[in-house]
């Protein structure tokens, strides 16, 4: 056990149970492996979840089986109350151990969940008050354990949620009915349908928690519950109303419409399954219990759940690329434009000291104002927002360069501009400091030409918007040092971002794959295919945004620059930029940022006609979906063949987290294998014959067969 962990447990136990007897047993003995317990002088049974060798608790069959044994002891000891909480500083529990679902049959999973239900039913049936004290993350199965307790005390800073929908599932250990019994049914269903967590105060206001309090008040709250001074609140009118089928049916219709806006039923069945079982069985906990088990077991075998579980493991694999710490505390960002400002603000939000430099004060001011809005929206805490803003320091004179552990250049995409910055900055870097570029396409070999020490130069390619896009491409070049790449990778993870190691090459991986997707869409616009139809077809495939709108969002001027760079740097066929698009850029119609491009924009949203309102006879193309998607796959295959990215799993992860490539398909290479590599090659050959050599399949497909 680490010193920090021991100190945390000592402080927690001292605060919560000053009169605990056998305190050593609570911290050191392991009578049940994952659980530690002790009885205090008031005969309160303190039960701590503390999985050995893990920084966070996760729930699996072993945890539940051991809990079952502890309940045997509780029934024998008959304490005055039971307090259940976590010994981990990170929180209560991060959810179920997803590994237990891999390779398990439907029957295995149903049996596992059924046994879990029995254990939590026993916990819920204990005659004495049972109290879950929740700090940090309390998600999924962790929240379901807490819900089996009679009381829940949420410590400020706690985050409670049901993220199962992100894996194509819904709660499976009683959460579907226990949450509805204690919380506002509409709020509980919303949590399960969206996967979005709530904080301690919100949990209290919707009935999910009985109190939201500071850690120092927990012991007193436990004493108040044990003495009967704190009582459960009334079930509430809304909960009673939704025990009736007509009320549930009315709300279920609204929920299905809302779910369809972001999660089409054909691709994401879990929300609709949950709505169905609640509408049919929400008036009976026993009926919901059986329906929950049956529905979960069916969902776990769907391609959507299997692929979303795959994406979960891709995320873990990318996080696992970190080796050690970055030793970066101070970040200096040069360029306060959209990307530079966002990078600076996000780094400050994540705890780094950041100095932000630009040749003009106005963009620095805009960046700090935008950063303040992002921090307020994501931190949801005035004190934390203030502290983060204190770490974001305007630095028009570049004083921070000499003190920074990492300098990130986010200047315009022109080699001569970036090189001029490096010539000024490199001599001022302190020993051990790294120099990084956020270029999206320029070759690092050319950018590093002229550096005295190119070994500490690296690409850190963030994606817009930085606060939402999880990927950072870690771009290497022949002279980059191993330690530089290691520290850059660690820094990305410390930013709560996913690193994707790529080799310097035109467009790296993500832009190389995304550009033909957008380019083909623009060719079809020129052919007369309605742009709304193109976007709708891409979104139906599972892309988060259609390629026409994406080009507008990126900026048509930027899209032209990247396209020209790729055409110049890549051998082979690449679609020519339409003359009409070049003219639009000359006229200053650059997309969303000028409120006009391929679409007109109002309030930041494109004005689109609904696809069903497209006039009869408007041009369509039976090949439309494949014309968009297959060039993207072909570019990924080429990048794999050339060694731009090391393996198909990393390529899939980069494309899912960098472009939003349909997560329920598991990534482009996984989709290709599911569809059939030979079938895709034949299809591309057909498209090449019909539409031109740009569809010729890359030689790398042969290695995937």
Question: DSSP string of 596-650?
Answer: BSSSBEETTEE----GGGSPTT----TTHHHHHHHHHHHHHHHHHHHTSSS-HHH
Q: Can you give the pLDDT at residue 18? A: 38
Judged against a pLDDT cut of 90, whether residue 72 lies above it is answered with yes
Single out the catalytic residue among 65, 77, 144, 292. 144
Name the band, by pLDDT with cuts 50, 70 and 90, for residue 645: very high
In whole numbers, what is the pLDDT of the chain averaged over residues? 92
What's the pLDDT score for residue 572?
63
Helices (H), 460-509: 482-494
- Per-residue pLDDT band for 13 (boundaries 50, 70, 90) equals low
User: Of the candidates 524, 526, 546, which has an alpha carbon nearest to the alpha carbon of residue 621?
Assistant: 524
Is residue 144 part of the annotated active site? The answer reads: yes
pLDDT band for position 34 (cuts 50, 70, 90): very high
* pLDDT score, position 16: 46
Q: Is the pLDDT of residue 669 over 70?
A: yes
Alpha carbon distance, N-terminus to C-terminus of the chain? 48
Return the H-helix or E-strand segment holding 522.
helix 510-527
Q: Report residue 540's pLDDT band, with 50, 70 and 90 as the boundaries.
A: very high
User: What number of other Cβ atoms are within 10 A of residue 417's Cβ?
Assistant: 12
Closest CA to 511 of 582, 474, 568, 463: 463
Catalytic residue among 66, 164, 187, 426: 164
Residue 425 φ/ψ, nearest 5 degrees: -85, -45
Please give the pLDDT value at position 559: 87
Whether residue 567 has pLDDT greater than 90: no
Q: How confident is residue 171, by pLDDT bands cut at 50, 70 and 90? A: very high
pLDDT in tens, 87-102: 999 999 999 999 988 8
Give the H or E element holding residue 332: strand 330-334
């Amino acid at each position: 056990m680490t010193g920090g962990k021991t100190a945390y447990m000592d402080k927690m136990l001292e605060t919560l149970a000053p009169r605990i007897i056998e305190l050593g047993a609570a911290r050191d003995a392991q009578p049940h492996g994952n659980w530690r317990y002790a009885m205090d002088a008031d005969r309160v049974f303190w039960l701590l979840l503390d999985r050995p060798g893990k920084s966070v608790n996760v729930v699996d069959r072993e945890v539940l089986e051991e809990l079952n044994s502890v309940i045997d002891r509780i029934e024998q000891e008959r304490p005055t109350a039971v307090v259940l909480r976590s010994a981990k500083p990170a929180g209560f529990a991060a959810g179920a151990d997803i590994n237990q679902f891999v390779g398990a049959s439907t029957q295995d999973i149903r049996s596992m969940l059924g046994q879990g239900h029995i254990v939590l039913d026993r916990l819920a049936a204990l005659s004495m008050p049972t109290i879950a004290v929740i700090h940090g993350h309390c998600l999924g199965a962790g929240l379901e354990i807490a819900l089996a307790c009679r009381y829940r005390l949420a410590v400020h800073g706690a985050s409670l949620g049901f993220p199962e929908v992100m894996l194509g599932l819904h709660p499976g250990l009683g959460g579907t009915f226990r949450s509805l019994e204690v919380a506002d049914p509409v709020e509980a269903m919303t949590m399960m349908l969206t996967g979005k967590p709530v904080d301690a105060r919100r949990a209290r206001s919707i009935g999910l928690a009985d109190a939201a309090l500071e850690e120092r008040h927990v012991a007193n709250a436990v004493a108040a519950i044990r003495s009967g001074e704190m009582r459960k609140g009334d079930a509430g009118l809304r909960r009673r109303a939704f025990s009736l089928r007509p009320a549930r049916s009315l709300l279920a219709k609204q929920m299905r419409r809302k779910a369809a806006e972001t999660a089409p039923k054909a691709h994401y069945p879990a929300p609709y399954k949950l709505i169905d079982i609640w509408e049919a069985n929400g008036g009976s906990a026993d009926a919901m219990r059986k329906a929950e088990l049956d529905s979960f077991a069916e969902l776990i075998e769907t391609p959507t759940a299997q692929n979303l579980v795959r994406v979960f493991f891709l995320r873990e694999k990318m996080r696992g690329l970190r080796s050690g710490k970055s030793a970066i505390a101070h970040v200096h960002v040069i360029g306060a434009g959209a990307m530079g400002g966002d990078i600076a603000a996000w780094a400050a939000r994540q705890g780094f000291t950041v100095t932000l430099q630009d040749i003009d004060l106005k963009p620095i001011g805009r960046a700090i104002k935008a950063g303040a809005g992002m921090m307020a929206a994501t931190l949801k805490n005035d004190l934390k927002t203030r502290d983060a803003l204190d770490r974001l320091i305007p630095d028009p004179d570049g004083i921070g360069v000499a003190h920074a552990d990492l300098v990130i250049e986010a200047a315009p995409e022109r080699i001569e501009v970036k090189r001029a910055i490096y010539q000024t900055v490199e001599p001022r870097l302190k020993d051990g400091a790294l120099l990084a570029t956020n270029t999206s396409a320029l070759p690092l070999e050319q950018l590093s030409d002229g550096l005295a020490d190119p070994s500490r130069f690296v690409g850190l390619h963030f994606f817009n918007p930085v606060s939402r896009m999880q990927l950072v491409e870690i771009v290497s070049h022949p002279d980059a040092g191993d330690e530089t790449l290691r520290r850059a990778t660690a820094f990305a993870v410390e930013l709560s971002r996913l690193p994707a190691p790529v080799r310097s090459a035109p467009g790296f991986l993500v832009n190389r794959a995304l550009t033909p997707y957008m380019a083909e869409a623009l060719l079809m616009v020129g052919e007369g295919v309605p742009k709304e139809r193109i976007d709708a077809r891409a979104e139906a495939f599972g892309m988060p945004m259609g390629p026409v709108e994406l080009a507008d969002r990126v900026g048509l001027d930027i899209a032209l620059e990247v396209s020209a760079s790729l055409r110049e740097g890549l051998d082979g066929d690449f679609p020519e930029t339409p003359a009409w698009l070049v003219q639009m850029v000359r006229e200053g119609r650059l997309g969303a940022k000028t409120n006009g491009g391929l679409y007109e924009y109002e309030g930041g949203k494109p004005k689109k006609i609904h696809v069903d309102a497209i006039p009869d006879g408007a041009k369509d193309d039976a090949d439309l979906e494949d014309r968009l998607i297959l060039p993207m796959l072909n570019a990924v295959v080429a990048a794999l063949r050339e060694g731009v990215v090391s393996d198909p799993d990393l390529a899939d992860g980069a494309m899912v987290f960098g472009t939003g490539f349909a997560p329920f398909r598991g990534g482009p290479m996984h989709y290709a294998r599911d569809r059939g590599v030979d079938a895709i090659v034949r299809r591309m050959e057909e498209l090449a014959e019909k539409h031109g050599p740009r569809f010729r399949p890359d030689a790398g497909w042969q290695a995937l067969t």
